[in-house]
Amino acid sequence: MGSLKLAKYLYDEFLEHNGQSSTIEYFRRSPHAYLTMLLIFCFQKQNKDLSISDIYKNIPDNVASQLTIHNLINDAVDANYLIKEQMPKDSRSFKITFSEESLKSIERWLDNINKSIS
């Protein structure tokens, strides 16, 4: 797929399908939320623990402050998109994962994009 066709596809996909999943809509509302969604998804699919401090380290400061990311995570936990659990090896640290429903929603969304551009 050429770059122009891909850009048009991604533009149309965002406008047409953003409201089909509350999880996707929630995390595509800002650059830091979008990056956070993709980061959590990657770690979770690789069965790696991701702490809140890891998220802070992986989202550049020029994209969002730690407070902004902290608020996003807490709001997403309250909305049942994310699960926040104490890390087994460090009780001061919290592991962040998607709820089962959110994870499935993101997988479907990514699979549909993958099928469309293949």
Q: CB under 8 Å to 110, separation ≥6 — which residues? A: 41
State pLDDT tens for residues 53-76: 999 999 999 999 999 999 999 999
Instruction: State pTM to two decimals.
Output: 0.91
Q: What is the pLDDT of residue 55?
A: 97
Residue 84's closest CA among 33, 40, 47? Answer: 40
Task: Give yes or no for residue 17 having a pLDDT over 80.
Answer: no
CA distance 115 to 98: 23
In this predicted structure, the answer to whether residue 5 has a pLDDT above a threshold of 90 is no
What's the rounded Cα separation, in Å, for the pair 24 and 5?
22
> What spatial distance separates the first Cα and last Cα of the chain, rounded to whole Å?
8
Look at residue 89 and tell me whether its pLDDT is greater than 90. no
Tokens standing for 63? Answer: 């994209």
CA angle 17, 22, 23 (to 5 degrees): 100
